[in-house]
Chains A and B, each alone.
Chain A
Amino acid sequence: MSAAGRVAAGSAPAVADDAAPGGVSVECRGLSIDVPTDDGPKRIVEGLDLRVEPGEFVCVLGASGVGKTTVLRALGGLVPPTPGSVLEVDGRPVDGPPDAGVMVFQNYASSLLPWRTALSNVELPLEGSVRDRGTRRERAMAALRLVGLADRHAAYPAELSGGMQQRVQIARALVVRPRVLFMDEPFGALDAMTREGLQDELLRIHARTAMTVVFITHDIEEAVYLGTRLIVLEGRPSAVGHDLRSPIGPDREQVATKESAEYLRLRHELYAAVRGERSGGAP
């Protein structure tokens, strides 16, 4: 590692520059996804068109069972779309997990390796690509510092709280310097206080790295607070039902932002959109 890198590892703000390659675009055209069921393949998503610009923070909402997670897994290269669908990250077709993107799963407990320490978990994705152990460790420590967990680097996942474990998972994603994060209800299993703390940290990391974020949530408040753009999936099979641009600026704060007129208006609009889908979509 260069001298600059060493300096960067020593202080948190510089680390972010180190891990700030900027975001990439994510695009799908005519995206359809079949999932296998006992009665053969069932179409979950059909004809979904979406273009996420580099650096956008897109929150995807929708009633449960509408296929939010499936869409995200397709974007992350974990689920193949049907033939004919166009799916691109940074203009390159997605065929397996893209190098530029990493997924963060809701269930942190089952995603971390319980026999590795927090630091060792974060080092895992570097073990194939970064030969030098010292460099690997420095980068992993920098990622842990970014999520505020440097002091617990020697702890095993079972010794950490849920919120801390999810931070480790986020650090493990950040350490590969992804240009897009695919997050599947990452804060869904956390209590309200922890969740708000992590939301603010995620906003801070997003602002520093300028990476693209596609964020699945069923929580309208969370979506409005975090997103620069909000997508509502609807229908069965589903497609984009609503596509709203957030009027809220980049500086967000849990109390003031949530009392602002823009926030309330957008929240109202989104409730109407999601509820309309719920009453119309229920069989």
Chain B
Amino acid sequence: MGVKEGEQAIRFLANHPATAQRISLRLAEYFVADLPPQALVDQMAKTFLATGGDIYQVMKVMLSSTAFWDPENKLYRTPYDFACASLRVLNVAQDRNKWLQAFGYSFVAGQAIQNWQTPDGYAFNANTWFTPEALTRRIDFALTVARNAPERSDLYPYLSDTTIKAVMKQPPLQRMGFVLGSSELVFK
């Protein structure tokens, strides 16, 4: 009897409009913007309820929205995100020294891997992570982990003229550090 009641409770919560709002909001905050447009969240929530919680459909709504593609909607990478992105960009995930640096950066930045104690998880909004000192530590990491990295000029078409100009002023083996530290990569 107890188990059945538990299942009933879960079904009740799963079908509740507040649940649809909450899930849609979290997805939109994570993929679109820290303060996503309410209209989009509402549309996603409506889809959630109409499809009985089909996340694929909810995501489709989100990915087809103008808000998702709007270049003004930037997301500031969390330290962990930035660490992973750096390893990918430099193609050094197999290099033990490099991922130790990445691990250390996450720790020092306040996002030690899997170390958040409470069920809400690490925050991922800009207000939490974008502070003056934190930015300088991110730059420290970028310059250190990218030292002597081979240049990836295939990324340059995606960077602004200002960024390219500043990057090209550096000797070739120092350039990737500046690519990583650019606003195009510090945000996403």
B partners with A: no
